[in-house]
């Protein structure tokens, strides 16, 4: 059996599978069979006699873990279910359930999702009378999350002079107190947020040497998938757990490290050889996914990054079509061009709709794509939209489940105490919150002793609610997940409330609850798990990642998604749109080399999603905040080797050699006045001789009016026309601020929108 699965591996893959001892780094290029290597390596360990209970495999999505376990099962059989395999958060939540008492938490602690955390933060901000515009809940949540991922506790946050100085400089000097209050309230509610699952694991391993010793000797072999995406907190946990056996294997690709904004640290993989000097390094360089042309384009892009692990990715697949570069005059025209191309490619090559994906840098770009696809009657799905478990009615029922198992769950309590309506108003809830704070009790404590704190009418309703929740706990304890969930859905009144809403929306919400119950029924009938209780189902739901919630293959539709969402996916044909400066690369990335290199890695990821054909497009103008702004092609286009390109531009734009790629930073930009070369199925083609005036930042410089002299603009008005020595003529569209620091937003005919400080702008007023 060993020979059977080893025969299917190439030389590099096989060496990586067979090297089971000591530190190992597998540098896996895009499409190089990474999942196969991980699964066969685990299977190989078991075949060699390693106890599956001693193997820990950490992934970033439940979907990846399930796929690996299924593959391992095919090789080694049912023993595969004994492997500790799952996401960082699910594995460490499992450990924290066992060790929770050492941290002062109940073993049935609730796991707050992002909405729960933000809801609690909003409540705290209101209680502290803080301006929620200055202390935006999203910002506060992100700040706390970043602190936890860098293992900075609330106390350390408040005692760090540099952090405090930064907060006070932005007028947010109370952030430390908000963080401390948030931490205390979570603890009181018996709840951990998603970041706590890693933060508290680090605390557990640091403060309890006996626990560290236990798990260091329990897990004899560790494997980490997508190691380039690990943050500081994950890095430390892995390093501690592997510190005894050093049997640590990490798999990843530095060229696909694109989550720096989430805290991922590319240095973890770049410095792995420094952390483990005796590491064995294996490079998976053969791409099995894409054509040679696509791989060559990807290589020509990523070689421009200075900070990377050296590798030479290649493909033995067909050479394939050249990569098509298309220019459009606007984002709307770009959408129409993509729609037309999809129709043509599908017809010519007999493809399904789900063979196509449109990738973009920002969610806002989906608008023009959606409009064009709708007009062409092309079915599509936005990938990355609201997941099933984020729908209100689903979160309502799950809040009942949560409160059943953890009566102290404050967010769940507030969500459902008066839904469906029980005559428990905001005034009563505010009284309960005040009583809980003054007496050091939880809201549920107040509810079970309602007559001590509330008037009789309100107390009766609140007490009945508490009794109902307590009865749910008894039902859940003695029944499987489906039986318990059905009872709670009915006796909470939620199912009845939705059933009585006969609107279209009400019917959809009722059907969603039925779908949830169907899913719980399937869970209750599974034979591969011992405990099929509702609490176990809840654990699975709480730890779902965004990637687990999305299923682009469910229907035959074109997939629309951001490039970040596309990682790990592959499609027959891929359209990467919006290759323009300040959009891709993002304007925010141009402040440092590290940020720019991450943008380039993002482009690399986009390119390597394509199997057979890759299309890249850009527009020379795009609507931004309601204003049409001229755009210039992305610098990344200049980095692509022209040998692999088919450039769809007017023939006159390339007077001699169309494949020479000086870019429209020469031919790309200075000669963009001809009509589009492609025919548009949505409108009549423009005559070849028609001139369409367009400009770019690299157009011929503005020649100032003879005798040009800057004027006093302190009394400038919106609507006035001005001249700038370099930017040319423009119209004032907005003024903000007070003298002498007034900022003017001006739309210049030649270069688009600019914001200038008037006292330094050197403008000449032309007319109103």
Among 654, 650, 658, 656, smallest CA distance to 688 is for: 650
The three-point CA angle 93-94-100 to 5° equals 75
DSSP state at residue 242: T
Tell me the two tokens of residue 671: 């000669």
Tell me the two tokens of residue 193: 């947020």
For 12-32, the three-class secondary structure string (H helix, E strand, C coil) is HHHHHHHCCCCCEEEEECCCC
Residue 260 assigned ligand-binding role: no
Contact 335, 369 (CB under 8 A): yes
Whose structure tokens read 């090559």? Answer: 349
Contacts of 198 (CB under 8 A, 6+ apart): 88, 89, 92, 148, 149, 231, 233, 234, 237
The Cα 753–Cα 743 span in angstroms is 13
Whose structure tokens read 């891929």? Answer: 574
Whose structure tokens read 């800057």? Answer: 710
**Residue 617: count of CB within 10 angstroms of its CB:** 24
The Cα 423–Cα 644 span in angstroms is 69
Tell me the two tokens of residue 604: 């690399």
CA distance to 108, 171, 754, 759, per residue, from 738 (Å): 56, 21, 19, 11
The Cα 74–Cα 81 span in angstroms is 12
**Residue 198: count of CB within 10 angstroms of its CB:** 24
Contacts of 167 (CB under 8 A, 6+ apart): 173, 175, 176
**Residue 148: count of CB within 10 angstroms of its CB:** 26
Residue 35 assigned ligand-binding role: yes
- Quote the radius of gyration of the chain (alpha carbons, Å): 30
Catalytic (active-site) positions: 34-35, 225-226, 256, 609
Tell me the two tokens of residue 696: 């770019």
SS3 content of the chain, % helix, strand, coil (to 5): 50, 15, 35
Contact 538, 472 (CB under 8 A): no
The three-point CA angle 5-8-13 to 5° equals 95
Helix, strand, or coil here: 526?
coil
In this structure, the dihedral spanned by the alpha carbons of residues 641, 645, 649 and 655, taken in order and rounded to 10 degrees, is 60
Residue 25 β-bridge partners: 250, 281
Whose structure tokens read 């026309």? Answer: 721
What H or E segment, with its residue span, contains residue 440? none
Whose structure tokens read 């019917």? Answer: 507
Peptide bond into 740 cis (omega under 30): yes
Tell me the two tokens of residue 403: 């409160």
Contact 571, 357 (CB under 8 A): yes
CA distance to 410, 498, 538, 542, 667, per residue, from 193 (Å): 13, 30, 15, 10, 53
Contacts of 601 (CB under 8 A, 6+ apart): 254, 255, 256, 257, 258, 302, 305
Residue 29 assigned ligand-binding role: yes
Tell me the two tokens of residue 26: 């597998």
Helix, strand, or coil here: 662?
coil
Residue 634's φ and ψ, nearest 5 degrees, are -65, 145
Residue 28 assigned ligand-binding role: yes
Whose structure tokens read 């729908």? Answer: 391
Beta strands 571-576 and 356-360 are parallel
DSSP state at residue 68: H
Binding region: 28-35
Q: Which residues are annotated as a binding site for ATP?
A: 28-35
């Amino acid at each position: 059996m060993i020979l059977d699965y080893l025969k299917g591996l190439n030389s590099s893959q096989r060496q990586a599978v067979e090297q089971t001892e000591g530190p190992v780094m597998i540098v896996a290029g895009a499409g190089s069979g990474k999942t196969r290597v991980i699964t066969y390596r685990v299977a190989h360990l078991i075949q060699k006699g390693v106890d599956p209970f001693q193997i820990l495999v950490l992934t970033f999505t439940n979907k990846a873990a399930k796929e690996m376990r299924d593959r391992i099962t095919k090789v080694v059989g049912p023993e595969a279910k004994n492997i500790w395999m799952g996401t960082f958060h699910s594995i460490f939540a499992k450990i924290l359930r066992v060790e929770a008492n050492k941290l002062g938490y109940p073993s049935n602690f609730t796991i707050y999702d992002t909405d729960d955390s933000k809801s609690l933060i909003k409540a705290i901000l209101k209680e502290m009378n803080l301006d929620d515009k200055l202390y935006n809940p999203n910002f506060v949540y992100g700040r706390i999350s970043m602190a936890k991922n860098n293992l900075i506790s609330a106390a350390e946050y408040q005692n760090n002079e540099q952090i405090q100085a930064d907060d006070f400089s932005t007028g947010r000097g109370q952030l430390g107190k908000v963080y401390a209050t948030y931490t205390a309230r979570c603890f009181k509610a018996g709840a951990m947020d998603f970041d706590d699952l890693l933060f508290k694991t680090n605390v557990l391993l640091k403060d309890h040497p006996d626990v560290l010793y236990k798990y260091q000797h329990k897990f004899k072999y560790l494997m980490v998938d997508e190691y380039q995406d690990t943050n500081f907190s994950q890095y430390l946990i892995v390093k501690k757990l592997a510190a005894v056996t050093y049997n640590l294997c990490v798999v990843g690709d530095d060229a696909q490290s694109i989550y720096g904004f989430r805290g991922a640290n590319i240095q973890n993989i770049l410095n792995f050889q420094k952390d483990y000097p005796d590491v064995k390094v294996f490079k998976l360089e053969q791409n099995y996914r894409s054509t040679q042309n696509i791989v060559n384009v990807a290589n020509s892009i990523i070689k421009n990054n200075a900070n990377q692990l050296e590798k030479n990715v290649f493909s033995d697949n067909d050479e394939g079509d050249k990569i098509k570069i298309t220019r459009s005059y606007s984002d709307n025209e770009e959408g129409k061009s993509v729609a037309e191309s999809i129709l043509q490619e599908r017809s010519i090559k007999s493809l399904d709709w789900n063979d196509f994906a449109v990738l973009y840098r920002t969610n806002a770009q989906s608008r023009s794509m959606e409009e064009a696809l709708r007009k062409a009657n092309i079915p599509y799905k936005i990938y990355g939209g609201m997941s099933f478990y984020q729908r209100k009615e689903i979160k309502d029922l799950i809040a009942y489940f949560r409160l059943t198992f953890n009566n102290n769950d404050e967010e769940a309590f507030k969500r459902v105490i008066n839904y469906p309506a029980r005559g428990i108003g905001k005034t009563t809830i505010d009284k309960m919150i005040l009583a809980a704070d003054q007496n050091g009790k939880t809201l549920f404590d107040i509810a079970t002793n309602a007559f001590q704190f509330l008037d009789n009418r309100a107390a009766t309703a609140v007490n009945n609610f508490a009794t109902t929740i307590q009865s749910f706990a008894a039902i859940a304890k003695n029944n499987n997940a489906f039986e318990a969930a059905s009872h709670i859905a009915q006796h909470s009144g939620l199912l009845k409330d939705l059933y009585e809403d006969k609107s279209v929306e009400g019917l959809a919400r009722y059907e969603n609850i039925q779908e949830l119950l169907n899913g719980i029924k399937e869970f209750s009938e599974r034979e591969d798990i011992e405990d099929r209780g509702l609490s176990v189902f809840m654990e699975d739901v709480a730890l779902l990642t965004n990637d687990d919630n999305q299923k682009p293959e469910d229907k035959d539709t074109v997939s629309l998604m951001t490039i970040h969402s596309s990682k790990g996916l592959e499609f027959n044909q891929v359209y990467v749109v919006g290759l323009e400066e300040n959009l891709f690369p993002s304007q925010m990335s141009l402040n440092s080399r590290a940020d720019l290199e991450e943008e380039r890695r993002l482009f690399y990821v986009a390119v390597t999603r394509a199997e057979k054909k890759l299309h890249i497009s850009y527009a020379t103008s795009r609507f931004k905040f309601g204003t049409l702004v001229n755009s210039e092609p992305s610098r990344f286009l200049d980095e692509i080797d022209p040998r692999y390109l088919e450039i769809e531009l007017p023939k006159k734009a390339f007077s001699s050699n169309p494949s020479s790629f000086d870019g429209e930073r020469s031919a790309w930009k200075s000669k963009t006045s001809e009509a589009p070369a492609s025919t548009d199925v949505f409108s009549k083609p423009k005559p070849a001789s028609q001139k369409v005036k367009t400009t770019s930042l690299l157009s011929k410089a503005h020649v100032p009016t003879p005798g040009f002299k800057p004027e006093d603009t302190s009394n400038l008005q919106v609507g006035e026309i001005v001249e700038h020595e370099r930017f040319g003529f423009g119209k004032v569209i907005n003024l903000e601020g007070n003298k002498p620091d007034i900022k003017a937003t001006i739309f210049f005919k030649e270069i688009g929108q600019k914001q200038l400080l008037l006292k330094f702008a050197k403008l000449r007023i032309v007319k109103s």
